[in-house]
Chain A
């Protein structure tokens, strides 16, 4: 793998930039691999990268039914943060955030991580108490959190409607200054390039259609490009976990739902941080290209359609405009949706399954992008050793049977109420 550097760019300037090479190969699948990862999104590619880099396992394939990063990795709102309330979530997402901070250097690929601050707005006294409680929980675990007064929020984001007559009056907020955004495609491409450099085979247009079993155990996968043997198989297809696990006869605590986002035309800088309102469930940030990226609630019924309902987009836009009236002047240029794994406690599942040699990483609900590095790191550990990493041990599939769920919002097994 050729290293990218300022010097190589400069050298390229004198030879017509002819030094550029494909960032990863396009190999034919081999007959078998030590580890097969199903799903070439950010999480699957990160898993392959850390398996090779940290655990020294090189005989790995990543199978992707479409093109890498074409699922939820390319369909999120690129927000990175670790401002959670419950300890297992804090530890996992904070570990991820620390990896984000050094990721561009580690991958030799600019993922454009931009820690511009992640702000939760408070709209009432009750909201402010809730934010203070969350901030305290974070600070007890060494994560930065600052409560903001109304004036501080106003100075930070002058385009917010701070008037007392606002539809959703703003009483204050809480900021995690180390949170921000990253370039989603670059994350998939950077991990793919890194993994490929270690010899990992990234095989696109290769959909898994079944599992090869020897007794109970999985010993390979059937794909649209033939049978591929495997020592261990890792499912990493959030959005389609129910379908793929179903091929192995498993039922999961997951229901698939559609989540939408949209972006406006590009404008000069007007939103400085990532603004989120948990009471409304609306989030707003500005991309480096200038477009205002917005998202809202999931469509609250099961769907694998990868297209959303306009009434949900309408709701998200109405909330965003109520918070920032200036947004009403902008034209929406694109709206899209992804299929999310809504798990039954709102937290991910990373670990072994009841089927020998088969592992699962899924259930990321609407918050998987920010976890990409940590998810890959812990899943790689689990796939390499057959045992959970300390960070993903609480997120095993068996926790639902034990009654040991990690339910940040406390709504129980009702994904459509989350």
Chain B
């Protein structure tokens, strides 16, 4: 299992967290129809590293972005969600 370094609470067990969606699937409020459809209904789904939105649901409930390797499960970075980390 993974240990996720919550920006607010420090290292915590994975069981306290839930995965929400990938960063590239967040739909900006001014997205065109095609862009919105692309973001909702397609993924790069790389066999490697991707940026994902997780939530410390059973902890401080904060949202965060994990840069994570999907083959090895190594977490390269965790950062708080803010205007600079989402489209």
Query: Which residues of chain A have a CB within 8 Å of any CB of chain B?
Result: 240, 242-243, 246, 251-256, 300-305, 309-311, 344, 400-401, 413-414, 416
Contacts and interface: CB of A to CB of B under 8 A. Distances in A.
B47 A309 contact: no
Contacts of A416: 19-21
Nearest to B47: A243
B14 to A, nearest CB: 7
Interface string B40-76: 1111111100101010000000000000001111000
A256 B19 contact: no
A305 B70 contact: yes
Contact of A413 (B18, B40, B70): B40
Counting chain A CB atoms within 10 Å of each CB, the highest count among B42, B46, B72 belongs to B42
B15 interface: yes
A309 B43 CA distance: 23
B50 A311 contact: no
Contacts of A304: 47, 70-71
B71 A254 contact: no
Q: Is the interface of B mostly helix, strand, loop or mixed?
A: mixed
B40 to A, nearest CB: 5
B85 to A, nearest CB: 18
A302 B45 contact: yes
A255 B53 CA distance: 14
Contacts of A253: 41-43
Closest 7 pairs (CB-CB, A-B): A242-B45, A301-B19, A251-B42, A243-B47, A400-B41, A253-B41, A304-B47
A301 B50 CA distance: 12
Contact of B41 (A240, A242, A305, A401): A401
Given A300-B19, A301-B52, A302-B52, A254 B45 contact: yes
A255 B25 CA distance: 11
Contacts of A302: 19, 22, 45, 50, 52, 70
Given A301-B54, A302-B19, 16 more contacts: A251-B44, A251-B45, A252-B43, A252-B45, A256-B47, A300-B18, A302-B52, A302-B70, A304-B47, A304-B70, A305-B71, A305-B72, A310-B1, A344-B41, A400-B41, A400-B42
B18 A240 contact: no
Contacts of B46: 242-243, 246
B70 A256 contact: yes
Contact of B44 (A242, A311, A344, A400): A242
B11 interface: no
Contacts of A400: 37, 41-42
Counting chain B CB atoms within 10 Å of each CB, the highest count among A251, A256, A302, A303 belongs to A302
Contacts of A344: 40-41
B38 interface: yes
A243 B47 CA distance: 6
A252 B43 CA distance: 6
Given A300-B19, A302-B22, A254 B52 contact: no
A156 B50 CA distance: 48
